[in-house]
Chain A
């Protein structure tokens, strides 16, 4: 298995403990994590990406116990093995589209996906030199997906990637993520409360407060 979690739990100070279902994914597989607002699905995503350390349990990615890494090694591991698509694109406004991808490459110092072909696959090759401010929301979302893919990650995490998109674009984005996960041989986890995504991904877990 490429990605596995074992009896993950987390608690914010002064709040009840959240426990999460175990998941396991192979390369190219997609998983949808559903849950209502406040159910802890963002926390689950943060645990998967190592942004938060779990109270109990483990996250194992590509043979490494991610949840036991700390500091600089965790940062480097995350940068080289994970591609995260955030709820908002969070592009760096001072940089062009191409430079936004190059900066992601800089911190990892690996070869990864060639940037021009990546942009081409996502249909934004003509925007490579464009300022981020001139992009439409859909284009910006695609750039952020391209950025998540630029270092050939093993796990692609997407946090509410469709919440601000219309039906048509939501479907395009989900399709893109699935396709790219298969292309780079990564597992895909999408965390959302958007019921529209259900139609495209059959593998579903639900996060609930007990």
Chain B
């Protein structure tokens, strides 16, 4: 028998009050944990996926939508742009690299992106097997796509029109897998990549002009050669120098029928909008934690009233005043430590449930069982709440008079 055991006995002696305070505390802490995890992982993911992309050029519309569709592959594209106009822009001296994208098809909900080989190096993608496409209708799969589609090297499959499932299939030109990428932890894992030409050709009726080009190798760098009025969806641009950030957007937005959007700026704007919601949730969590602290304080204070004989008795049995203080503080700390542990577990569990049951792609990339150093801070907060809640009761325990209580 020791003080820790004794305070544990006192805690378990009133399971309802202890349980309620434990749950309240854990609930508040779990909200904070979820917010922390989601914010951290989304932010990391967002910076990671936008690495190397300074500017996105696409059809006019919502700049945020353009960024979301072309960089993060979550929203619908704003439309297509004329490739000749796009090529004119790209010849600017301010631009180091341009990667054209053609979007608009999917394979069972996974997006098909028509691009060139630069897109692979931009994402630092490595091949798990196979090699990049060289001819029309050859595709490579992101690691996650290969797993979800259950496809292997050499397999053929049909793409369908549109960004999401449900449209008609392109039956005339099946895709053929020539490569599968190793997992990168980025958005590219969930894409199906092919040449821009592949996407052009799938959308054309079989006619004479096509049959002549269909067996020729596709371009692997820059823009594909365009024999007619071709379109692409967007351009991922890397500046040669910081001057690009100043001049290019203005030039594109005012001088062309296209728009330019900066991923960093748009995502900062999105986070600012979301930030209000996050702040409200954080505030709510803090209120819940404070209520839990108050609950612990009231429970301790009330139980001390019932326990003043016990305390006097412990003093008579040889406990020092500081040992009584330790007993009371320990009880609160034990409770809050448990609450913190439970809260973290609940937070991670909640996120795991969210990830498991959501169909939203943005959430499916979250990893619920990654632990952050800031979670130590959460435990710290909880302990501080527990310590503060126990101060007044501990003080009254300190003042316990043996003679008055026991011989009344």
Grouping DSSP codes into helix (H, G, I), strand (E, B) and loop, the B interface class, with mixed when no group exceeds half, is helix
B403 contacts A103, C-beta separation under 8 Å? no
**CB-contact partner of B407 in A86, A92, A93, A94, under 8 A:** A86
A80 contacts B318, C-beta separation under 8 Å? yes
Q: Does A72 contact B (CB under 8 A)?
A: yes
Cα(A75)–Cα(B400), bound, Å: 13
A104 contacts B317, C-beta separation under 8 Å? yes
What distance in Å separates the Cβ of A201 from its nearest Cβ neighbour in chain B? 21
Closest-by-CB residue of B relative to A150 is B317
Q: Does A95 contact B (CB under 8 A)?
A: yes
Grouping DSSP codes into helix (H, G, I), strand (E, B) and loop, the A interface class, with mixed when no group exceeds half, is helix
Residues of B within 8 A of A80 (CB): 318
Q: Does A24 contact B (CB under 8 A)?
A: no
Cα(A75)–Cα(B3), bound, Å: 17
What distance in Å separates the Cβ of B326 from its nearest Cβ neighbour in chain A? 12
Q: Does A99 contact B (CB under 8 A)?
A: yes
Q: CB-CB contacts of A98-113 with B at 8 A, as 1s and 0s?
A: 0100111111100000
B313 contacts A92, C-beta separation under 8 Å? yes
Q: Does B91 contact A (CB under 8 A)?
A: no
Answer whether A90 and B309 are a contact pair too, CB < 8 Å, given A42-B407, A51-B407, A102-B1: yes
What distance in Å separates the Cβ of A170 from its nearest Cβ neighbour in chain B? 20
What distance in Å separates the Cβ of B309 from its nearest Cβ neighbour in chain A? 5
**CB-contact partner of A78 in B1, B9, B316, under 8 A:** B316
What is the interface residue range for chain B against chain A? 20 to 34
Q: Does A181 contact B (CB under 8 A)?
A: no
Closest-by-CB residue of A relative to B9 is A94
A159 contacts B407, C-beta separation under 8 Å? yes
A75 contacts B313, C-beta separation under 8 Å? no
What distance in Å separates the Cβ of B5 from its nearest Cβ neighbour in chain A? 8
Residues of B within 8 A of A84 (CB): 316, 406
What is the interface residue range for chain A against chain B? 20 to 34
What distance in Å separates the Cβ of B143 from its nearest Cβ neighbour in chain A? 56
Closest-by-CB residue of B relative to A86 is B406
Closest-by-CB residue of B relative to A80 is B318
B314 contacts A103, C-beta separation under 8 Å? yes
What distance in Å separates the Cβ of A61 from its nearest Cβ neighbour in chain B? 15
Answer whether A105 and B406 are a contact pair too, CB < 8 Å, given A90-B313, A95-B6, A95-B9: no
Q: Does A45 contact B (CB under 8 A)?
A: yes
Answer whether A107 and B319 are a contact pair too, CB < 8 Å, given A51-B402, A94-B13: yes
Interface residues of A (CB under 8 A from B): 42, 45-46, 49, 51-52, 72, 75-76, 78-80, 84, 86-87, 90, 92-95, 99, 102-108, 147, 159
Q: Can you add 10 more A-B contacts, CB < 8 Å, to A93-B310, A103-B317, A107-B323?
A: A75-B319, A75-B320, A84-B406, A92-B313, A92-B314, A94-B12, A95-B1, A99-B1, A102-B1, A107-B319
**Cross-chain pairs A/B with CB under 8 angstroms, 22 sampled:** A45-B407, A51-B403, A51-B406, A75-B319, A75-B320, A79-B318, A80-B318, A84-B316, A90-B406, A92-B310, A93-B310, A94-B12, A94-B13, A99-B1, A103-B6, A103-B317, A105-B1, A106-B1, A106-B3, A107-B317, A107-B319, A108-B317
